[in-house]
Structure 1
Amino acid sequence: MRINTHWISGRTGRSVLLAAGLVAAGAALGLAPRSFADEVRAVPAPAVDETPNGATSETAVLAGGCFWGVQGVYQHVQGVTSAVSGYAGGDKSTANYDEVSEGTTGHAESVKITFDPRRISYGKILQIYFSAVHNPTELNRQGPDSGTQYRSAVFPTSDEQARVAKAYKSQLGAAHVFDAALVTKIEPGKSFYPAEAHHQDFLARNPTYPYIAVNDIPKVEALKRMYPDVYRADPVLVAAAPNTN
């Protein structure tokens, strides 16, 4: 397999090499390599959700491991009008891939999701996040990626979102939906900064890339299987939007 040397540095290079090895080993044994998506579980809908206020557009910012997969999942959700990969949790001056990959900036690889609250609620966005997007019991890691930049985090964009996120985290914890405690951080008041253009739409553009095939395509399949009422076959792409801000 030809590997783009742009990625052979930091987390992504190691992840791609590991994913390539898993693909090769699985093929040799006639088995598909396991990923988080093989162990997804259904979670109950939030008991507390936002109160409709007539708004036609809202944004949510979520972090759950490599932003390629998080973006890829939400691009297939009906009611989502945009999903942009980027960084949240740190300063604007360090919001770039090379520095964030060092794990010392306070940033997490994140996705800003713009959605129509008349078609899908913030609570539903969170339900998908806690079930099909990532494992919220993994501390500072997801799959082959480790470091605080891959932490599980919700960045509320309003007091109402913070209220819903805190209530839902408590609800899932009290219900013992997972075998371990949820480590998801709720971090209000943080700005989001779009990632570099080559990170946008990465899953849609590279569905057979080993890292994507092992770690992220199964998440889109989980979305389709678990939430057929909100799944859309054609993703909403950043490339089709006027800009990524």
Structure 2
Amino acid sequence: MSRSPFSRLSLCAAAIGALAITAFNVLPSRAAEDAVVIPAPAMDAAPSDAVQTTVLSGGCFWGVQGVFQHTAGVVSAVSGYAGGSKSTADYSMVSTGTTGHAESVQIKYDPKKISYGKLLQIFFSVAHDPTQLNQQGPDSGTQYRSAIFTTSDEQKKVADAYIAQLNAAKVYKKPIVTKVGPLQGFYPAEAYHQDYLTLHPNQPYIAYNDIPKVENLKKIFAENYIEKPTLVGNAKVTN
């Protein structure tokens, strides 16, 4: 199903009801996927002096981008598409669920300030629910799947080991469905999708589904939280 920001807003409204929408300013917010406190990964990537890149997919990219833009050590977090071809990296096409793409966020990070394992811990804990198959909150379809696109063999080993660790510890009520595989290409999304959480904090979809994720980041990962987001407008977007 193709969704513009406005149709996505309508879907959220239908999902939570008109009363919930009018109550945003008087009731505590909550995320569609509740945060889960989870252990840190037993295995992590080796330290590096160079900026590293990974691509994470966990439902609508607005919220995932917003979380990592408030994460210390992240150099840039760009909304985009991964898993399909360059020719179909267009929002209207990706929204059909037939392109192979997932709404994704390209994260460039400084390993001296935050590790790859810590990024994954935040991803699995507050950014999305890794047990939902092809769905996050009110959004459904393969374009909203949970996925980790790795840029090195080491990243894949760490991600696979962490998923196995979390499943063995039974920190979730259901098994993790996140797919891990090498990044073949990342394509930045249209300009109006970038920095969406920061630019539209009062939009009902954002207020209900995504702002609570940033609040949970601040609460659960206080040492990794930064108040001022690292916006795409202040970063160079590259394919």
Q: TM-score, normalised by structure 2?
A: 0.93
Contact conserved, 2:29 with 2:207, CA < 8 A, in 1?
Answer: no
User: Any unmatched runs of 5+ in structure 2?
Assistant: none
AA matched with 1:217: I
CA separation in 1, counterparts of 2:200 and 2:2?
19
Change (3 A) 1:33 1:75: closer
C-alpha deviation, 1:108, in angstroms: 0.1
Q: Paired residue for 1:17?
A: 10
Contact conserved, 1:84 with 1:244, CA < 8 A, in 2?
Answer: no
Identity between Structure 1 and Structure 2 (%): 57
Count residues in correspondence: 236
1:184 aligns to 2:178 (yes or no): yes
Q: How does 1:1-245 map to 2 (within 5 A)?
A: 9-10=2-3, 12-21=5-14, 22=16, 24-26=18-20, 27=22, 31-32=27-28, 34-37=30-33, 39-52=34-47, 54-245=48-239
Deviations 1:205-236 (A, max 9, x none): 11001110010000000000000001000000
C-alpha deviation, 1:17, in angstroms: 1.1
Change (3 A) 1:128 1:165: same
Contact conserved, 1:36 with 1:135, CA < 8 A, in 2?
Answer: no
CA separation in 2, counterparts of 1:104 and 1:143?
20
Q: State the Cα RMSD in Å.
A: 1.9
- Aligned to 2:222, the other structure's residue is in SS state coil
AA matched with 1:36: A
CA separation in 2, counterparts of 1:206 and 1:116?
28
AA matched with 1:97: Y
Deviations 1:144-166 (A, max 9, x none): 00000000000001111000000
Deviations 1:82-101 (A, max 9, x none): 00000000111101101000
CA separation in 2, counterparts of 1:209 and 1:174?
38
Deviations 1:1-24 (A, max 9, x none): xxxxxxx95375443113335363
Change (3 A) 1:242 1:40: closer
Q: TM-score, normalised by structure 1?
A: 0.91
Deviations 1:48-94 (A, max 9, x none): 00112x33200110000000000000000000010000000011110
Deviations 1:171-219 (A, max 9, x none): 0000000000110011214211111111100011110011100100000
Change (3 A) 1:31 1:150: same
- Aligned to 2:147, the other structure's residue is in SS state strand
CA separation in 1, counterparts of 2:4 and 2:167?
30
